[in-house]
Amino acid sequence: MKDLAELFRLDGKRALVTGAGRGIGLHAARALAAYGAHVTLVARNEAEIVDAAKAIIEEGGDAEAMVLDVTDIDDVRRKIEAAPPFDILVNNAGTNRPGPFVEVEPESFDLVNELNVKAAFFVAQSVARRLIEAGLPGSIINISSQMGHVGAANRTIYCTTKFAVEGMTKAIAVELAPHGIRVNSICPTFIETPMTAPFLENEAFKASVLSKIKLGRLGTVEDLAGALILLAGDASGLMTGSSLLVDGGWTAE
């Protein structure tokens, strides 16, 4: 029987984190490194991602940068195929274009879907292919949202993509289970990050958000660490096709 503490350790594991230059992705990379994983941080902005990897190394972690636009599927396939297999994927890169449903334009719809759904799908596919080739198990963690479980005004595109991520997670989990590759999602509420900051500056909007979070506060990137480390390691060895809601009780009512 394994030591219980060891179930959460990630020593010897290789992790890939997309959208890792800031916010949830950066914290995910730091958390994985803190538990022993070698972490490859992915983002388009070279200076940002190199600095992020250096910061993790300075903290005592093992990290490297991979400059990559995850919407460039050909480049995704080339770079992941050229790398040793990744035991853990945190599929985090995402975006949002809030606005009234009746005003949504195809350009905005396509932009959000391209990153939130298509890129996530093919990054996961590329990581899974390498694991299958190597005969290795793995853990794919899709960063979804509470908006993959509920609706919200002015977030029709985002909700559409996150519901898609939830369905994608379950379907991929079914296919990859025979290979020992687990696929789960983490579904946060509003987390204080550079992406959400502009929206939360609106006091009326912030008050509306807080009225729905039963614990009475916004989320922080640190609030996601427990779910992330759980899903990445052996402690969640029988979990696949599941969603972990880190929403402060938003969806409980």
Please give the structure tokens belonging to residue 16: 């890939």
Q: Is 167 contained in some domain?
A: yes
The parent domain of residue 16 ranges over 4-237
Q: Look up the CATH number of the domain holding residue 232.
A: 3.40.50.720
Domain count, the chain: 1
Establish if 252 belongs to a structural domain. no
Give the pLDDT band (50/70/90) at residue 198. confident
Establish if 119 belongs to a structural domain: yes
Domain annotation covers residue 191: yes
The pLDDT, as a whole number, for residue 106 is 98
Residue 119 backbone phi and psi in degrees, to 5: -65, -45
Please list the active-site residues: 158, 162
Cα atoms in the Cβ-side hemisphere of radius 13 Å centred on 175? 12
221, part of any domain: yes
pLDDT per position as a tens digit, 36-57:
999 999 999 999 999 999 999 9
> DSSP label at 81?
H
Does 2 have pLDDT greater than 80?
no
CB 225 within 8 A of CB 31: yes
Q: Residue 41: inside a domain, yes or no? A: yes
Query: Does the residue 75 lie in any domain?
Result: yes
CB 149 within 8 A of CB 101: no
% of the chain beyond a pLDDT of 70: 99
pLDDT band at 195 (very low <50, low <70, confident <90, very high): confident
Q: Between residues 106 and 6, which one has the greater pLDDT? A: 106
| Each residue's pLDDT tens digit, 112-149 | 999 999 999 999 999 999 999 999 999 999 999 999 99
Run of H or E including 127: helix 120-134
| In a domain? residue 155 | yes
